[in-house]
C-alpha cells in the first residue's frame, strides 16, 4: 500500500509540469553513455514516448562520434587530425553519414516503436532542415557550421503526432553533405522551434564548478554566468560546445535548457516532471 501511495504522489507531483509542457516542443539532445548502452538507450526512448503520450512534442537530436570512430576502425579508414580536431575527408564523411543517418538513427526509431511511439528518422539534409557551410575555411574537410534551420518538416511531423529523430549530417553548398557537431545542431533547432525546453544528455551530473569534482554541480546557471565560464576557461573541454549550444538556444527565446546526466535511468523524466531537478538549469538573465 505504501508503494502505491508513493507512486500516486509522484503522479500528482508531475501534473503541473505536464500541464506546463502540454502542446509544446521539447528538444532532447541524445548522446554520451546513454547512446552506447542498449538498456539505457531504450529507457530514454521510453521516457520520450511517455512525453509524447501526455501531450508534449519531443524532438530527438543525436550525433554519434564514438560509433563513427569504431566503424572507421573496422573498415580500416585512417583518422586524420588538424590541431587536434578530426578532419572529415571523403571517406570519413561516407562512414559518418552511413552510421549517423543509418545505423544509429534507425536504431533510435526502432526503440521508439518498441515502446509504442511513432518515430521518423531524418538527417539534416531531408527537406534542407539544417543548412551549413564549411567550418574553419575548409581545413577540417566536410565539417560544417550551421547557417540556417528550416523547421517546416519537423513542425509537420510534430503536428501529426510523430517523434522526429534528427541526426547532425547537414546540407552544405551544392547539396553536398557536411558533418556538424550535434550539440550545435540541437542549440540551433531549439532556437528555431522555441520549445519549452532543450534537454542535453551528458556523461557528467551537469555543469561543474570544478571539472575534477563530480559533486560540484551547479544547479542553475544564467546566460551571463555561462558566458563567463566560457571566456575564463572554467568550462571543461567537453562542456564547451554544450554551453555554446545553450546560449544559441536561449537567444531571443523563452527556452529553458537542462544539462543532465544521461547515465541516470529516467533522468529526462526526473528533470522535467519533478520538483527537484537532477542537472543544471540554464536560464536567461
- What pLDDT score was predicted for residue 93? 95
CATH pick for 24-283 out of 3.30.420.40, 3.30.428.10, 3.90.550.10, 3.40.1160.10: 3.40.1160.10
Query: Of all helices (H) and strands (E), which one includes residue 67?
Result: helix 65-75
| 238 or 1, higher pLDDT | 238
pLDDT single digits (tens) 106-159:
999 999 999 999 999 999 999 999 999 998 777 889 999 999 999 999 999 999
Neighbours of 185 (CB within 10 A): 29
> Region 193-202: what's the mean pLDDT?
88
- What pLDDT score was predicted for residue 52? 96
> Region 76-91: what's the mean pLDDT?
84
Pairing between strand 256-261 and 280-283?
antiparallel
Question: What is the pTM for the complete model shown?
Answer: 0.92
- What pLDDT score was predicted for residue 2? 64
- Residue 259's contacts (CB-CB under 8 Å, 6 or more residues apart) are 200, 202, 206, 207, 239, 242, 246, 279, 280, 282
HSE (side-chain half, CA atoms, 13 Å) at 124: 34
- What pLDDT score was predicted for residue 20? 86
Residue 36 pLDDT greater than 80, yes or no: no
Residue 254 pLDDT greater than 70, yes or no: no
Give the C-alpha separation, 58 to 201, whole Å. 14
**39-48, 135-144, 254-263 — most confident range:** 39-48
Cα–Cα–Cα angle for 22, 23, 28, rounded to 5 degrees: 85
- What pLDDT score was predicted for residue 86? 82
Residue 1 pLDDT greater than 80, yes or no: no
HSE (side-chain half, CA atoms, 13 Å) at 59: 33
Cell of 115: 515502446
141: nearest Cα among 67, 236, 77, 191: 77
The number of angstroms, rounded, from the C-alpha of 250 to the middle of its chain's C-alpha atoms is 15
Helix, strand or coil, per DSSP, at residue 145: strand
Residue 231 pLDDT greater than 70, yes or no: yes
Give the C-alpha separation, 203 to 32, whole Å. 6
Matching residue, cell 553536398: 176
Residue 186 pLDDT greater than 90, yes or no: yes
Amino acid at each position: 500500500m505504501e508503494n502505491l501511495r508513493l507512486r500516486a504522489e509522484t503522479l500528482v507531483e508531475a501534473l503541473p509540469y505536464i500541464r506546463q509542457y502540454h502542446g509544446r516542443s521539447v528538444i532532447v539532445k541524445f548522446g554520451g553513455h546513454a547512446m552506447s548502452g542498449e538498456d539505457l538507450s531504450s529507457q530514454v526512448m521510453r521516457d520520450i514516448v511517455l512525453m509524447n503520450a501526455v501531450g508534449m512534442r519531443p524532438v530527438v537530436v543525436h550525433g554519434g562520434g564514438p560509433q563513427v570512430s569504431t566503424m572507421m576502425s573496422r573498415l580500416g579508414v585512417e583518422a586524420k587530425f588538424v590541431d587536434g580536431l578530426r578532419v572529415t575527408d571523403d571517406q570519413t564523411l561516407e562512414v559518418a553519414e552511413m552510421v549517423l543517418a543509418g545505423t544509429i538513427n534507425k536504431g533510435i526509431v526502432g526503440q521508439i516503436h518498441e515502446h509504442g511511439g511513432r518515430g521518423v528518422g531524418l538527417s539534416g539534409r531531408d527537406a534542407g532542415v539544417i543548412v551549413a557551410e564549411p567550418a574553419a575555411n575548409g581545413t577540417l574537410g566536410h565539417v560544417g557550421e550551421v547557417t540556417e534551420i528550416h523547421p517546416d518538416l519537423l513542425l509537420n511531423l510534430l503536428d501529426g503526432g510523430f517523434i522526429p529523430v534528427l541526426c547532425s549530417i547537414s546540407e552544405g553548398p551544392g547539396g553536398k553533405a557536411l558533418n556538424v557537431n550535434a550539440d550545435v545542431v540541437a542549440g540551433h533547432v531549439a532556437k528555431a522551434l522555441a520549445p519549452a525546453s532543450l534537454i542535453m544528455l551528458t556523461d557528467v551530473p551537469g555543469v561543474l564548478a570544478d571539472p575534477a569534482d563530480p559533486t560540484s554541480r551547479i544547479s542553475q546557471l544564467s546566460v551571463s554566468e555561462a558566458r563567463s565560464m566560457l571566456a575564463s576557461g572554467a568550462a571543461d573541454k567537453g562542456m564547451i560546445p554544450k554551453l555554446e549550444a545553450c546560449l544559441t538556444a536561449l537567444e531571443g527565446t523563452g527556452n529553458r535548457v537542462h544539462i543532465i546526466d544521461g547515465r541516470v535511468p529516467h533522468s529526462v523524466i526526473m528533470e522535467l516532471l519533478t520538483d527537484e531537478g537532477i542537472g543544471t538549469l540554464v536560464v536567461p538573465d
